[in-house]
Amino acid sequence: MKGLQRLFAILRKAVRQLRRDRLTFGMIVGIPLLQITLFGFAINTDVRDLSAGIADQANTQFSRILGSDAQASQVVRITRRVETAEQLEILLRRGEISVGIFIPADFEQRLTRRDRPAAQLMIDGSDPLILAAARQLTGMSLRYDTAPQAGADAALFEIRNYYNPERRSAVNIVPGLMGVILTMTMVLFTAVAIVRERERGNLELLINTPVRNLELMVGKIVPYIVIGLIQVSLILLLGVFLFQVPIQGRIIDVYLAALVFIAANLTMGLVISTLAKTQFQAMETTFFFFLPSILISGFMFPFDGMPRAAQYIAEFLPLTHFVRLIRGVMLRGAELSELLSEIWALLAFMFITLGLAILRFKKRLD
């Protein structure tokens, strides 16, 4: 009987501690909700509405029907119209489209002769899932009764697979994995390091010094920037020599993109350190940030395949923009000047989170 009383006493104490630890209680509820929502709603391997551009040099009734039929298939969503195949290639390199539809000036003559494909699909094949989804268009046929000798089984499209002709998954995974590793380590390192100092009482020393909040924050993240760049070098070496991942762009662009991304993640770690009171809470909160980053950033699943709401949320995650940046530079040979919107997004995230961390950070003991 006394044993049960002691057991209940311990249980009451554990429940009271849990009620006082609101952050942990929030994680107990929030993590299952987040996982169920992401896996059940946002994750969709049936890729639809791939962003596409079209260059219709024929500009005839049949070519316009081809464009409208391609969009009606829901495989692609035509967002850009240009004049030439070279302009489609530029859009592909910048990551603004995943599929280019090129209709040559002699489109109807090709339909009549049927000796070669009448049009061309230019696909960003760096992600094999996008290539597989876009290939569904090859089964199309012109639905027009008076089409000149265009049988239902006529080969309408020729496929051009850009950036990953061997269709190797490692080519697509390794650059994105760099962002995942940096997100996990940089956010966690910073958050835990500052909380650990608070737990050990080291922040007492800083209270009596003239160090300002901004100076303290910057001083905390600079060493981790160096660590992050070392990690980038290791990942690049392994990717190139172990998995034969090409680096089509300039190596300096890779490091500049990584530098901005590392700084953005470190400032996020600073924000988490102002929310957590213990190292365990810091790790829990980091996991809460890490999970959506890996699932809806476009690293694992094609961004175009996600519901619109998930895409809007993903735009607020730094990993989303870094995945576009690093794949653009490493796989498509793009320059940073062509991907400035992603750089601005990372810089905006960094300054907002740094300002938030400074406002929340209190140079006093709780």
Encode pLDDT of 28-38 as tens digits. Answer: 777 777 777 77
Cβ 326 vs Cβ 182: under 8 Å: no
Residue 261's pLDDT is what? 95
pLDDT of 166 above 90 = no
Output Rg (C-alpha) for the chain, integer angstroms.
26
Q: Phi/psi of residue 49, each to 5°?
A: 55, 45
pLDDT of 184 above 80 = yes
Strand, coil or helix: 126: coil
Higher pLDDT, 329 or 191: 329
Higher pLDDT, 268 or 29: 268
How many other β-carbons are positioned within 10 Å of the β-carbon of residue 193?
Answer: 18
Band of residue 90 on the pLDDT scale cut at 50, 70, 90:
very high
- Sign of dihedral through CA atoms 122, 125, 127, 130? positive
pLDDT of 110 above 90 = no
Band of residue 362 on the pLDDT scale cut at 50, 70, 90:
low
Do β-strands 76-82 and 99-103 pair in parallel, antiparallel, or remain unpaired?
unpaired
Residue 250's pLDDT is what? 93
Residue 75's pLDDT is what? 87
Q: Report how far residue 213's alpha carbon sits from residue 193's, in angstroms, rounded to the nearest whole number.
A: 16
What is the value of pTM for the model shown? Answer: 0.83
Band of residue 207 on the pLDDT scale cut at 50, 70, 90:
low
Residue 135's pLDDT is what? 84
Q: Is 159 exposed, middle or buried (0-12, 13-18, 19+ CB in 10 A)?
A: middle
Counting residues of the chain whose pLDDT is more than 90, the rounded percentage is 33
Band of residue 216 on the pLDDT scale cut at 50, 70, 90:
confident
Q: Report how far residue 156's alpha carbon sits from residue 102's, in angstroms, rounded to the nearest whole number.
A: 11
Q: Mean pLDDT across the stretch 165-184?
A: 89
Q: Mean pLDDT across the stretch 81-91?
A: 93
Q: What domains appear along the chain, each with residue ranges and CATH number?
A: 1-43+168-360 (no CATH), 50-138 (3.40.1710.10)
Band of residue 175 on the pLDDT scale cut at 50, 70, 90:
very high
pLDDT of 365 above 60 = no
Q: Phi/psi of residue 265, each to 5°?
A: -70, -35
Band of residue 262 on the pLDDT scale cut at 50, 70, 90:
very high
Residue 204's pLDDT is what? 66
Cα angle 286, 40, 132; round to 5: 100
Q: Report how far residue 198's alpha carbon sits from residue 202's, in angstroms, rounded to the nearest whole number.
A: 6
Q: Mean pLDDT across the stretch 295-318?
A: 86
Q: Report how far residue 267's alpha carbon sits from residue 270's, in angstroms, rounded to the nearest whole number.
A: 5
Average pLDDT, the chain: 84
| Structure token pair of residue 236 | 């690049």
pLDDT of 254 above 80 = yes
